[in-house]
Amino acid sequence: MKKIISVLLLSVTIFTLAFNSPALAANAANGAALFKANCAQCHVGGKNLVNAAKTLKKAALEKYDMYSAEAIIAQVTKGKGAMPAFGKKLKAGQIEDVAAYVLEQADKDWKK
């Protein structure tokens, strides 16, 4: 009986750790440097030099269902339309940092 309880407790612990691990916090400061080096050519100040309607301003991100880290991460990783994919150039953590920076700036209307 003790063995069964021990196995059950171990299973519950493993399950809890596997599905409830805390997410790593993205680093918006690192994201700022990555954005400047990789994104600012087309998105300086939150603008979009290729498609003026699809800026990185909060209203546009919300309008196009892009106002979430998940959506931005997917866009940066895979690219879309004229935007190239950065999934092979940047590591996943770096892309998360860029997403954090974009959301932070969108919330500030891209004003420092």
pLDDT per residue of the chain (112 residues) written in tens, 0 to 9 = 666 665 555 555 555 444 443 445 789 999 999 999 999 999 999 999 999 999 999 999 999 999 999 999 999 999 999 999 999 999 999 999 999 999 999 999 999 7
CA pair distance 12, 33, nearest whole angstrom: 41
Q: What is the pLDDT of residue 2?
A: 60
69: which residues sit within 8 A by CB, 6+ positions away? 26, 96, 99, 100, 103
CA distances in angstroms from 63 to 22, 24, 81, listed in the order given: 30, 28, 17
CA 6 to chain centre: 39
